[in-house]
Amino acid sequence: MKMLKKISWWLFAAMCIFIGLYPITYFVIDRNFGLLSTKTSELLGDLTWNIAFYGHIVFGGIVLLIGWTQFSGWVRKNKMHLHRLIGKIYIIGVLISGLCGIYIGIYATGGLIAQSAFIGLGIVWLSSTIMAYLYIINKKKVNHQYAMIISYALCFSAVTLRIWLPILTNVYGGFTAAYPTVAWVSWVPNFIVALGIIYYMEQRRKESFLNNV
């Protein structure tokens, strides 16, 4: 069980790192691939949209790349200064990526269903991250931890989107047909899992408190 937990942890970290570095591809190869191939030339030429798009993927990539380390007990115990520094970078990155994500969500491929999914994701991601910040400055460490679990679960949607996309594209028979569903399943299950983890942790915390009374 301990070995399985360790393997799962490093697999989780590897996925975060790999997808966190993925935005680099948009700077080294032609942009006419994947999601961008579905956009109109007018939108691709729009300065505001481009600023929002690159702001979203660059800062989103950074927070995905570094955020997983915040859940390392060893880092929190032995490198608290590093934990705090990464936390500050994470919060700034989410604010930029989240706001940009809400803007480009208005133009999401897949119509109103996909647009509402990505706008909703941006709002919940920003809200949970801001709450995490407010909790920690008020020294509510447990609440801070719970809010961060939700925040990073939503950040991890960048990974789960890329897992669901090829599966549902095959099921629906095309990218455009699948994308509205992908937009929702990329983050809603993550959110539910995060709530489940929080519930489990809270029950354990209450049991520990009662055992020590």
Q: What is the DSSP string of 132-198?
A: HHHHHHTT-HHHHHHHHHHHHHHHTHHHHHHHHHHHHHHHHTSHHHHHHHHHHHTTHHHHHHHHHHH
Domain count, the chain: 1
Distance of alpha carbon 68 from alpha carbon 80, whole angstroms: 15
Q: Maximum Cα–Cα distance for the chain, whole Å?
A: 66
What is the span of the domain harbouring residue 125? 2-211
Residue 10 carries which side chain, given as an amino acid letter? W
Distance of alpha carbon 6 from alpha carbon 89, whole angstroms: 26
Q: Which helix (H) or strand (E) holds 92?
A: helix 80-105
- Tens place of pLDDT for every residue, the chain, 213 residues? 778 888 888 999 999 999 999 999 888 877 676 778 888 889 999 999 999 999 999 999 999 999 999 998 888 889 999 999 999 999 999 999 999 999 999 999 999 999 999 999 999 999 999 999 999 999 999 999 999 999 999 999 999 999 999 999 999 999 999 999 999 999 999 999 999 999 999 999 888 766 665
Angle of the 47-67 helix axis to the 80-105 helix axis, nearest 10:
150
- Taking the complete model, does pTM exceed 0.85, yes or no? yes
